[in-house]
Amino acid sequence: MTDSWANSGVDLHLDLDTAGGRRAGLEQALREAIRSGRLAPDTRLPSTRALATELNLARNTVAAAYEQLTAEGYLHARTGSGTTVAGVPGRRAGTTPPAPVPGPRFDLRPGSPDVSTFPVDAWVRATRRALARAPVSSYDYGDPRGRTELRTALAGYLGRARGVPADPAHIVVCSGYVQALSLLAGVLQGPIAMEDPGLAFHRDVVRHTGCEVLALPVDEQGACTDQLGGGPLAQARAAVLTPAHQYPTGVTLHPARRRAAVAWARSHRGLVIEDDYDGEFRYDRQPVGALQGMAPEHVAYVGTAAKTLGPALRLAWMVLPERLVEPVAHAKRLTDLHTETIGQLSLAELITSHAYDRHIRACRLHYRRRRDLLIERLGRRHQLHGIAAGMHALIPLPAEGPDEDVIIERAAARGLALSGLRPHLHTPGRATATGLIVGYAAPGQAAYPAALDLLARTLRGR
């Protein structure tokens, strides 16, 4: 390879206007790139020879332009270490980017796991092993359902750990639960019943596909699946459920409601979309098996790596009834051809080597300790719902007040970010239920006890 602009480390597009001469044009293009921030301070510029070759200029021309800009203060020239960008003369370094807005000191909002537990070493080992074994064709376009290695590994894992009978041919790997939901809604093209309360973002995802969202009430036995098939829910083509740990109330779907969901799907040709987002994390008793095991031909099961490994991977998987495999795979192909392959191969390796199970066991213990501390610091004075599983709990607030918005504001003033129940309701104006959804996974180890104490004080009005 020759010594070029590209292999010198940086790649930059320069618009040369040579009407006023080549040297002046180059100087102007470099000044503009530095002023606009496209060339950041400390960036090493290519050698005069490399840039001259790249731009088809004489080397002397480039050297003269570098000298001129060094004299003006835009560049630094150091013997032995080449020419680097100094910055815009007169503009103090560090004043260009806006100062980051300070975040809250403590954050007990739900949604993210403790991302500091991401198993970096195990992931790197898995990637290295997977790539050493991967055929060259892995780097090419692939099956819209995802890599066979991952679908086979998932089939084994899901059967064993989640009670999900899965044929690898019926699995479609996708980019997060959010994409699974979007693809399924896009294929169904009909009204979809969604739990009320539930995640507002997911309702938006469904509406974005053109489907209508119907409110499926939730009570102390979980989603009222016995209401499916009649009344305002009569038209529903599908029902989205979080049976293992309802989001956000934390209820486990009652066995009678599980049966009602399956009976509705069978009698109405309906589809249950099972969101098993945190099914791996159950603390006080045996994990609740997935609903899919009761009726694999009527349930689209969706699992995700967002809680077990980290949301950044954007890796999730659907186990589909046979009739949906082809249409969903087709929709996936039209959306993004298929999910990125290297991560799929790494996850397959992580699962088959059982490093995935070991990681989940370690995390389960970690979150259980977090959950126990939550109970210790708040459980005596406040009701905590949904604490048998997952990474969040619901603290219902008394009807006589103070309202969740008041508490959230009071906490924010003290540097504690909290999340309320109301935005999860389909019709948030409803006066009845108010509460706090406390996510206990994400705060740093050192900050967590202090965050809980601040929450306890805020709830007491102190």
Q: Is 317 among the residues that bind ligand PLP (CB under 6 A)?
A: no
Which of 242, 308, 419, 434 is in the footprint of ligand PLP by CB under 6 A? 242
Contact 150, 166 (CB under 8 A): no
Q: Is 85 or 299 the residue whose CB approaches ligand PLP more closely?
A: 299
Helix residue ranges, H only, 189-229: 200-208
Q: Is 452 among the residues that bind ligand PLP (CB under 6 A)?
A: no
Q: Is 199 among the residues that bind ligand PLP (CB under 6 A)?
A: yes
Q: Is 316 among the residues that bind ligand PLP (CB under 6 A)?
A: yes
Written as six digits, the tokens of 302 are 């969706």
Binding positions for ligand PLP, 81-120, rule CB under 6 A? 111
Cβ 303 to ligand PLP shortest distance, Å: 9
What gap in Å lies between CA 269 and CA 194, rounded to an integer?
17
Cβ 131 to ligand PLP shortest distance, Å: 24
Q: Is 61 or 242 the residue whose CB approaches ligand PLP more closely?
A: 242
Position 79, amino acid: T
Q: Is 185 helix (H, G, I), strand (E, B) or coil?
A: helix
Q: Is 179 or 227 the residue whose CB approaches ligand PLP more closely?
A: 179
Written as six digits, the tokens of 156 are 């084994």
Contact 258, 246 (CB under 8 A): no
Q: Is 309 or 452 the residue whose CB approaches ligand PLP more closely?
A: 309
Cβ 274 to ligand PLP shortest distance, Å: 11
Q: Alpha-carbon torsion 292, 296, 299, 304, what sign? A: positive
Widest distance between CA atoms in the chain: 83
Which of 306, 389, 425, 442 is in the footprint of ligand PLP by CB under 6 A? 306
The residues pairing with 299 across neighbouring beta strands, listed in sequence order, are: 272
> How distant, in Å, are the alpha carbons of 62, 254, 277 from that of 244?
66, 10, 9
Q: Is 55 or 158 the residue whose CB approaches ligand PLP more closely?
A: 158
The residues pairing with 196 across neighbouring beta strands, listed in sequence order, are: 217
**What's 317's DSSP letter?**
E
Cβ 311 to ligand PLP shortest distance, Å: 5
Binding mask of the shown chain, residues 263 to 302, with x at each position contacting ligand PLP by CB under 6 A: ------------x-x-------------------------
Q: For residue 414, how many other CB atoms are within 10 A of its CB?
A: 13
Q: To which residue do tokens 């119907």 refer?
A: 214
Written as six digits, the tokens of 384 are 């905590």
What gap in Å lies between CA 291 and CA 321, rounded to an integer?
13
How far is the first Cα of the chain from the last one, in angstroms, to the nearest whole number?
A: 69
Cβ 141 to ligand PLP shortest distance, Å: 24
Which of 5, 177, 301, 367 is in the footprint of ligand PLP by CB under 6 A? 177
Binding mask of the shown chain, residues 132 to 171, with x at each position contacting ligand PLP by CB under 6 A: ----------------------------------------
Q: Is 176 among the residues that bind ligand PLP (CB under 6 A)?
A: yes
Which of 311, 379, 396, 423 is in the footprint of ligand PLP by CB under 6 A? 311
Q: To which residue do tokens 């129940």 refer?
A: 421
Sole window of 27-35, 47-55, 303-311, 435-443 interacting with ligand PLP (rule: CB under 6 A): 303-311
Contacts with ligand PLP, residue ranges (CB under 6 A): 111, 176-178, 199, 242, 247, 275, 277, 304, 306, 311, 316
